[in-house]
């Protein structure tokens, strides 16, 4: 009797159902719904907002950005998940003309008492006021400063993974094995599709939209950066191809379980922003293939670096996994993909890594999003993936 | 035939040097001597004799300079240009002033005299100010009074007044103010200020911000190229092929020195040094070009520079605006010019014209890689233009020309041609002077001698 399908189901179910403590709260609404909330409830009157250009998940809320096509000002709004009033702030170019209000008039404009720090800023053709974070430019109320999103430290894991990637690339040249170009073709196709839908994913470039920069230039910058990165990935995959090998169902099921656990343990904030896109399945596909490829190369490198340890290799990998769970944070998914793929045979590393990444995305989305569209898509991917693994298990001898 | 060839080379060398001299000599920002004379005369008019030999320096506001150039493209320097660029003159014994490039007094400040004269009543201040300043600025009677204030320091009464003046050189919508300070009955300082029209400055500042953003993509491309070079270097080590570490260190040091001389930010110097060092040290040595092909470097550099210097006029004729390519280097001297012209040549050319074509050759061929390099290179140094694509197209043309030079004459030719081209393009944005002219002309001569020297070596 073939028990492999049952093992597949158990491993995937374990990854999906093992109880874990929540690290971030689920986003209750999509960025588009949050934007509607802002447009209906608040914001500066008498000022053209332009289109909704970008969004970003920040803690327990959405940061949203509108900018008109001339780019001379932009509007940022923070919509928190709990029922709090929406906070917004207009950023205006310093050269925009206005009036030079006295302090009392400026205070009257924003109905502010005379407490807190007050700063006056003389611009070339107007006067700005800052009343403890509430700002006025000329005769225009700019709103209140929004909380800064703290920049995260990269930590040691990206360096470790980059080192393994370098070692893997060298290994693939020195010990090439039987290279297949199907992965490279699939990767190139997915990245080409990603570039084709790039206009709909520029909403992820929250930091690129700046005052004074026309939105089309910001979008062009994002597109050009994406093209450069994709071209570099394809060139890398052409030079350092993936080894040919047949996948094993139970191995992949274990990878799927590990990916689901990694995604649920440490969901990534950028994943929540991606979930707000309509082209999210295509982004997921490109990320699975690109990150899966890179993780496979890094896994080959890590495997060869640990080769002198022989049987102790698995013990070291287990220790590294424990360390990753404790300290990797948002890098847990890529680290899990590399560590898991380095535990399997070289020729099956790409399948294992891609499976970990795919189910890491599913797990992360299910743990961090609470609105229906991404949950539906993640569930579909989960069911389709599990079905594919079960079919593979049935077909295996 | 050999005689004819030598004659041809000599004629080419003479033509290149003549073109370089024509484009360079007398093209810097002049007016240094006039400025000292004008400030001295103005002080004399105010009853003050400055002592000692003054120190002069050029100061300017790049955004305002570009905004002025955009509004009045094609016009010559006039008094209003003091808004963008001024000569500051400081006397060691006290007193300093500023003049426009054309020699008009822009600002003055003299030491407070021991006896500043009798204190003036408020009602008579305006008249007294106009009379005393008229000795320096004859149009003082036409200024419009805006505001004034008075205060007392010890026994001396101080007055400060602000006037609105109509500057003939300023574009429509730009405002000029002049602030005059008096102690007792002596004028102590006068200072002009220009308030540009917001939309004029806004267009330029917006373009500057956009180009800074686009430049990040070029830097990203260079970073990814460095990753490729590192991987290729690791392969070299793995297969025990020759790695020229000393050459890499030398190239990196040279690039670093050029960056420091050019007063570039430390991170840019470091990135340039790493790029140059990694490409030269880790990649296989570039193939040696056929003898005599380096002769192409100097003519190519001069030709590309002349074409790019003429381009703003062409763009203006087509209804657009493209400023001169090089930003203002106010404090620039010959060393800074040398650094600024050789730094891009030493850092970008090895990566864009040698490493990228070599790494991408299996995927897209040599020219495919070179065009990727040109596309990345065109994002690194563009200047604001209307439309923005005019500046990007000019940069792309420069990069494609350098790729052609690299293909025909090798990497060394590309480095030399780029150095010559950058020198000729950047020269007009520095103060005039024979030392800076000599730096550029010497670069042309060195580029030519490199080709001649190579030919002789090959002939042996």
pLDDT tens track for A209-220: 999 999 999 999
**Mean predicted confidence (pLDDT) in B345-373:** 93
Option in A95, A217, A240 nearest B213 (CB):
A217
Q: Which residue of A has its CA nearest to B239?
A: A174
Contact residues for A1 (Cβ-Cβ < 8 A; gap 6+): none
Q: Do B206 and A96 touch (CB under 8 A)?
A: no
For chain A, say whether B231 makes contact (Cβ under 8 Å): yes
Q: Do A213 and B217 touch (CB under 8 A)?
A: no
Which pLDDT belongs to residue B76? 45
Q: Do B202 and A218 touch (CB under 8 A)?
A: no
Q: Which residues of A touch B205 (CB under 8 A)?
A: 93-95, 212
Which pLDDT belongs to residue B290? 63
Option in B198, B210, B238 nearest A170 (CB):
B238
For chain A, say whether B389 makes contact (Cβ under 8 Å): no
Q: Which residue of B has its CA nearest to A170?
A: B235
Higher pLDDT, residue B198 or A21: B198
Closest CA relative to residue B249, chosen from B289, B282, B219, B216: B282
Across the A:B interface, residue pairs with CB atoms under 8 Å apart total 89
* Residue A258 predicted with pLDDT over 90: yes
Q: Which two tokens stand for residue B291?
A: 């003898």
Give me the interface pTM, i.e. the ipTM: 0.89
Q: Which residue of B has its CA nearest to A209?
A: B213
Residue A252 contacts residue A350 (beta carbons within 8 Å): no
* Residue B83 predicted with pLDDT over 80: no
Q: Which residue of B has its CA nearest to A240?
A: B231
For chain A, say whether B435 makes contact (Cβ under 8 Å): no
Min Cα distance A126 → chain B (Å) is 10
Q: What angle do CA B186, B187, B189 make, to 5 degrees?
A: 145
Q: Do A71 and B206 touch (CB under 8 A)?
A: yes
**Mean predicted confidence (pLDDT) in A55-78:** 92
For chain A, say whether B74 makes contact (Cβ under 8 Å): no
Min Cα distance A202 → chain B (Å) is 15
Which pLDDT belongs to residue A310? 82
Higher pLDDT, residue A193 or A25: A193
Higher pLDDT, residue B72 or A81: A81
Which pLDDT belongs to residue B459? 41
Which pLDDT belongs to residue A66? 95
* Residue A179 predicted with pLDDT over 70: yes
pLDDT band at B457 (very low <50, low <70, confident <90, very high): very low
* Residue B79 predicted with pLDDT over 80: no
pLDDT band at B453 (very low <50, low <70, confident <90, very high): low
**Mean predicted confidence (pLDDT) in A310-337:** 91
pLDDT tens track for A30-43: 999 999 988 887 77
Average pLDDT of chain A is 89
pLDDT tens track for A287-313: 999 999 999 999 999 999 998 888 888
Give which of B64, B66, B70, B214 to mutate to test A binding, by max A Cβ within 10 Å: B214
For chain A, say whether B216 makes contact (Cβ under 8 Å): yes
pLDDT band at B289 (very low <50, low <70, confident <90, very high): low
Higher pLDDT, residue B151 or B140: B151
* Residue A328 predicted with pLDDT over 50: yes
Option in A97, A234, A235 nearest B198 (CB):
A97
* Residue A319 predicted with pLDDT over 80: yes
Closest CA relative to residue B105, chosen from B167, B197, B164: B167
Q: Which residues of B touch A181 (CB under 8 A)?
A: none
Backbone angles phi, psi at B395, to 5 degrees: -65, -40
Which pLDDT belongs to residue B73? 66
Taking CA atoms, A387 is separated from A349, A357, B155, B257, in Å, by: 21, 17, 96, 62
Option in A124, A169, A236 nearest B198 (CB):
A124
Which pLDDT belongs to residue A17? 81
Average pLDDT of chain B is 88
Q: Which two tokens stand for residue B434?
A: 């024979």
Closest CA relative to residue B80, chosen from B156, B174, B143: B174
Q: Do B198 and A231 touch (CB under 8 A)?
A: no
**Mean predicted confidence (pLDDT) in B186-210:** 88
Q: Is the C-alpha dihedral spanning A16, A17, A19, A25 positive or negative?
A: positive
For chain A, say whether B314 makes contact (Cβ under 8 Å): no
pLDDT band at B75 (very low <50, low <70, confident <90, very high): very low
What pTM was computed for the model? Answer: 0.88
Contact residues for B2 (Cβ-Cβ < 8 A; gap 6+): none
Residue B296 contacts residue B413 (beta carbons within 8 Å): yes
Burial class (CB in 10 A: 0-12, 13-18, 19+), B175: middle
């Amino acid at each position: 009797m073939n028990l492999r399908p049952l093992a597949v189901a158990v491993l995937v179910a374990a990854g999906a159902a093992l109880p874990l403590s929540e690290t971030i709260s689920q986003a209750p609404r999509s960025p588009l719904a949050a934007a509607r909330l802002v447009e209906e409830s608040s914001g500066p009157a008498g000022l053209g907002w332009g289109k909704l250009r970008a969004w970003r998940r920040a803690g327990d809320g959405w940061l949203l950005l509108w900018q008109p096509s001339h780019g001379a000002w932009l509007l940022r709004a923070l919509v928190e998940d709990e029922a709090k009033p929406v906070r917004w702030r207009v950023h205006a170019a310093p050269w925009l003309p206005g009036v030079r209000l006295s302090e009392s008039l400026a205070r009257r404009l924003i109905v502010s008492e005379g407490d807190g720090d007050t700063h006056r800023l003389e611009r070339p053709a107007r006067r700005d006021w800052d009343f403890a974070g509430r700002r006025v430019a000329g005769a225009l109320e700019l709103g209140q400063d929004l909380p800064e999103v703290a920049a995260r430290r990269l930590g040691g894991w990206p360096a470790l993974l980059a080192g393994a990637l370098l070692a893997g690339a060298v290994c693939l040249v020195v010990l090439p094995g039987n290279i297949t170009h199907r992965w490279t073709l699939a990767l190139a196709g997915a990245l080409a599709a990603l570039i084709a839908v790039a206009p709909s994913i520029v909403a992820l470039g929250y930091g690129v939209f700046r005052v004074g920069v026309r939105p089309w230039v910001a979008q062009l910058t994002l597109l050009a950066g994406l093209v450069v990165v994709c071209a570099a990935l394809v060139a890398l995959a052409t030079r350092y191809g993936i080894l040919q090998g047949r996948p094993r169902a139970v191995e992949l099921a274990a990878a799927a379980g590990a990916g689901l656990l990694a995604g649920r343990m440490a969901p990534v904030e950028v994943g929540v922003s991606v979930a707000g896109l309509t082209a999210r399945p295509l982004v997921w596909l490109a990320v699975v293939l690109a990150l899966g490829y890179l993780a496979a190369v890094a896994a080959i490198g890590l495997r060869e670096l640990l080769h002198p340890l022989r049987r102790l290799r698995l013990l070291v990998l287990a220790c590294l996994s424990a360390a990753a769970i404790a300290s990797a944070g948002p890098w847990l998914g890529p680290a899990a993909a590399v560590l898991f793929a380095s535990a399997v045979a070289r020729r099956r590393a790409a399948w294992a890594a891609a499976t970990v990444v795919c189910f890491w995305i599913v797990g992360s989305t299910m743990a961090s999003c609470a609105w229906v569209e991404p949950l539906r898509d993640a569930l579909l991917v989960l069911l389709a993936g599990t079905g594919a693994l079960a079919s593979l298990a049935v077909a295996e001898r | 035939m050999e005689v004819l060839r030598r004659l041809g080379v000599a004629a080419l060398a003479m033509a290149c040097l003549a073109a370089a001299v024509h484009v360079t000599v007398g093209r810097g920002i002049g007016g240094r001597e006039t400025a000292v004379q004008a400030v001295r005369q103005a002080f004399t008019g105010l009853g003050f004799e400055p002592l000692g030999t003054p120190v002069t320096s050029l100061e300017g506001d790049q955004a305002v300079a570009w905004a002025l150039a955009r509004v009045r493209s094609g016009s010559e320097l006039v008094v209003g240009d003091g808004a963008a660029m001024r000569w500051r003159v400081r006397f060691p014994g006290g007193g300093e002033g500023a003049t426009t490039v054309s020699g008009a007094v822009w600002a003055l400040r003299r030491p407070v005299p021991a006896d500043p004269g009798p204190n003036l009543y408020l009602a008579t201040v305006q008249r007294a100010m106009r009379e005393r300043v008229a000795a320096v600025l004859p149009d003082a009677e036409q200024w419009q009074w805006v505001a004034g204030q008075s205060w007392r320091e010890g026994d001396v009464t101080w007055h400060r007044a602000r006037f609105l003046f109509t500057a003939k050189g300023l574009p429509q919508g730009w405002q000029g103010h002049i602030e005059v300070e008096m102690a007792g009955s002596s004028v102590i300082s006068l200072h002009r200020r220009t308030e540009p029209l917001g939309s004029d400055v806004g267009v330029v500042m917006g373009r500057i911000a956009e180009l800074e953003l686009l430049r990040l993509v070029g830097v990203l491309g260079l970073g990814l190229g460095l990753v490729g070079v590192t991987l290729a270097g690791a392969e070299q080590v793995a297969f025990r092929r020759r790695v020229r570490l000393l050459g890499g260190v030398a190239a990196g040091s040279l690039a670093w020195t050029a960056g420091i001389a050019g007063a570039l930010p430390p991170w840019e110097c470091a990135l340039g040094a790493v790029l140059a060092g990694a490409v030269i040290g880790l990649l296989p040595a570039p193939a040696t070009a056929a003898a005599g092909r380096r002769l192409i470097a100097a003519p190519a550099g001069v030709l590309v520079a002349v074409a790019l210097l003429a381009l703003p006029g062409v763009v203006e004729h087509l209804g657009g605006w493209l400023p001169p390519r090089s930003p203002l280097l106010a404090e620039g001297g010959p060393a800074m010019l040398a650094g600024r012209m050789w730094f891009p040549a030493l850092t970008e050319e090895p990566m864009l014209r040698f490493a990228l074509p070599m790494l991408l050759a299996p995927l897209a061929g040599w020219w495919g890689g070179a065009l990727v390099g040109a596309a990345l290179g065109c994002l690194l140094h563009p200047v604001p233009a209307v439309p923005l694509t005019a500046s990007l197209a000019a940069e792309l043309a420069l990069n494609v020309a350098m790729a052609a030079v690299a293909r025909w004459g090798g990497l060394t030719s590309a480095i030399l041609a780029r150095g010559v081209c950058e020198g000729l393009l950047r020269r007009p944005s520095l103060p005039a002077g024979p030392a800076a002219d000599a730096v550029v002309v010497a670069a042309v001569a060195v580029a030519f001698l490199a080709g001649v020297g190579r030919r002789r070596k090959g002939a042996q």
